[in-house]
Amino acid sequence: MRIHVTKKLAEKLKKAGHVIAAEPAAPGSLLDGWHSNLVVIQRRNCVLFVHDQTRYAAALIGMTLKDLKQIDRLFEDILINSMLKLGYPAELVERASKYLTPLEFDTQCDRSVQGTLRVAALELEAQYWNGSDIMEIGPIFSFGLADGAATQHQRPQRITIPVAEQRDAKAARAVSSLGRATGNGHS
């Protein structure tokens, strides 16, 4: 999978032993096309990811050089776990996991997606403005990030789910929560 990284993150990845390509590769799978940035919050390195088309976002908090060496595994873990936590069907998560390939990096960035990365970073910072320790949240914040950022023309879509399936799933959740609120639903 191709990840377009900022120069700041590219320098850290080089130190961790990753190769940064000069030119972007052609998309190879449905999950290709991510942007990533390194932000420092409370003196902790946080790597933010945003999918180019859907604006689905995820964050790795408290990254060290040792963690950057295994960023492939950590990215796969946060992506799959955030999809599960957000209620994606298990078969869809399984299908998405089959499209995960080793990460490849370049520095060819899209300004629109970088803007979404900035918004995600501001949301992350705002959560901990009151002095709470950012390391206490771990991967939990990614679940909220995935539904947070928006482009000028659209809210973020759930990655790899057709829009019709999204509406059906949201309607089912709304009916289920309405039933629980009125005492008519299942526990």
pLDDT digits (tens, 9 = 90+) for 86-98: 888 999 899 888 8
Query: For the chain, where are the E strands, in sequence order?
Result: 2-5, 20-21, 34-41, 44-51, 57-60, 104-106
Residue 6 pLDDT > 60, yes or no?
Answer: yes
CATH topology of domain 2-160: Nucleotidyltransferase; domain 5 (3.30.420)
By three-state DSSP, how is residue 169 classified? helix
pLDDT digits (tens, 9 = 90+) for 7-16: 999 999 999 9
